[in-house]
Structure 1
Amino acid sequence: MISQSALDFIKEVAENNNREWFMDNKPLYEESRENMLEFTAALLTELGKTDPVIALADPKKALQRIYRDVRFSKDKSPYKDHWGIGLSSNPSKPDATGYYIHIKPQGSFVGGGYWQPTSEHIKAIRQEIDYNGAELKEIIDDKEFVKLFGDFRKQNQLKTLPKGYEADHPDISLLKLKDFIAMHDFKDAELVKPDSYKRIAGVLAKIYPLNQFLNNAIS
């Protein structure tokens, strides 16, 4: 599980986002990070039962650094205000489909799919929807999927028609999508339960068929 102290620490970081405070509290950081690594390892094992690729991931690489890259940012705060865990579902395309866990007091969520596909990939995904839209609709219209993630079609869409497709296409609402992601919020109380890694893995497992569809499209 995620310890209450790991949640409290990241909250403190948000309120004291400076190097002096961080260095004074470095032992708390190390303790919290160790807890997050243990949680990540348990999550990888559990999710790996559904998505075998995930079972091979390294927890230390999956748990993202707390240090921000401020080189090109107006916000020079040195530390992130959350714990992030990133998992690729396709090692050959690590920046494509996958899963993400965002741990932040009163702002935690998990998700997966493909955010901001490359122009080459979105073209391939739209072609797959054109040829095999029924498979995608079977995934995203499943009652459990809708209960967890809401209406998949109600996310970032083109304001105009995608090139090569007409307005009367039966799957035009899917073809106009710019992102292909599913997200689910978690409350703090859920995260600190002993089986929280199982609960999160169970939610992410429902995204596995979506990732498979997208991976087949771009492979």
Structure 2
Amino acid sequence: MISNATLSFLKELKTNNDRDWFNENKKRFKEAEAEAKDAGNTLFGMMKTHDAVDKVKLFRIYRDVRFSANKQPYKTHFGISFRRQKPEYRGGYYLHVEPGNSFIATGFWQPEKDDLLRIRKEFEMDDTEMREIINDKTFQSVWGEVKGEEVKTAPKGFSKDHPAIDLIRKKQYMFTKNFTDKEVLSKDFLEKADQSFRTIRPYFDYMSEVLTTDLNGVSVI
């Protein structure tokens, strides 16, 4: 479980984002960090029962400010990623714990150049299966619409008038689901997150097949 103490620490950190305050509250941070790590490991165990996830990672709270205009030294959230076993399984999962802005995310955040081209080529050839998956009522009730950055008109080599241009122009293919603080603090929060992740599986199965075959359906792994 995520406790109110963890959310309170993150909330206070947001208004006291400096090294002096952080060092004075190092014990609270360590307790909150341990709790977030335990939550990540617990969710990882649940996910392993229904998907080939092989790594869980709690991101460091320290920000890299070298090339950023924002010089605040600390993140005000805990982020945890869950990796699917490559090369046969593609995509990933993410858990974000932040007061007033907690969510889970899944899909393709920064697809490699070749993977992005392969996905776009698939949609150019036939977007029927993708549409059936993302328009399914159960899928929609959990994840809503596909999200992600996109080019303004069309990627190089693709027609801006193609019927699937709404999918082709995307640079990311992600889905997110938000949770209130009350939901995060509930005893069944991790179970709900896991149940939501289960519903993404048809999308992952489809995208994994696309990214492990060529346009003729021949395996490339």
- The residue aligned with 2:67 is 72
- The residue aligned with 1:57 is 55
TM-score (norm 2): 0.86
Q: 1:143 offset after TM fit, Å? A: 0.7
| Distance in 1, Cα, partners of 2:73 & 2:160 | 47
Alignment pair present for 1:83 and 2:83: no
Cα displacement string for residues 125-182 of structure 1 (whole angstroms, at most 9, x for unaligned residues): 1122234522212221111221222222x65333223344335534232222221000
- The residue aligned with 2:2 is 2
Contact 1:89 1:211 in 2 (8 A): no
Q: 1:210 offset after TM fit, Å? A: 2.3
| Distance in 1, Cα, partners of 2:10 & 2:202 | 33
Distance 1:11 1:127, change over 3 A: same
The AA in structure 2 aligned to 1:134 is: T
* 3-state SS in 1 of match to 2:127: helix
Contact 1:40 1:85 in 2 (8 A): yes
Contact 2:145 2:175 in 1 (8 A): no
Q: 1:116 offset after TM fit, Å? A: 3.5
Distance 1:91 1:19, change over 3 A: farther
Moved more, 120-129 or 104-113: 120-129
- The residue aligned with 2:219 is none
Q: 1:83 offset after TM fit, Å? A: 0.7
Q: 1:200 offset after TM fit, Å? A: 0.8
* 3-state SS in 1 of match to 2:209: helix
| Distance in 2, Cα, partners of 1:79 & 1:206 | 33
Alignment pair present for 1:113 and 2:107: yes
Higher relative contact order (CA 8 A, sep 6+): 1
The AA in structure 2 aligned to 1:80 is: K
Q: Structure 2, unaligned stretches of length 5 or more?
A: 213-221
Cα displacement string for residues 85-126 of structure 1 (whole angstroms, at most 9, x for unaligned residues): 1122244599x7211111110111111111242332211111
What are the equivalent positions in structure 2 for 1:181-192 lying under 5 Å apart? 181-192=174-185
* 3-state SS in 2 of match to 1:85: strand
Contact 2:150 2:172 in 1 (8 A): yes
Q: Structure 1, unaligned stretches of length 5 or more?
A: none
Select which of 110, 130, 133 maps to 1:139.
133
| Distance in 2, Cα, partners of 1:170 & 1:102 | 35
- The residue aligned with 1:193 is 186
Contact 1:47 1:202 in 2 (8 A): no
| Distance in 2, Cα, partners of 1:162 & 1:64 | 32
Moved more, 84-93 or 71-80: 84-93
| Distance in 2, Cα, partners of 1:81 & 1:12 | 9
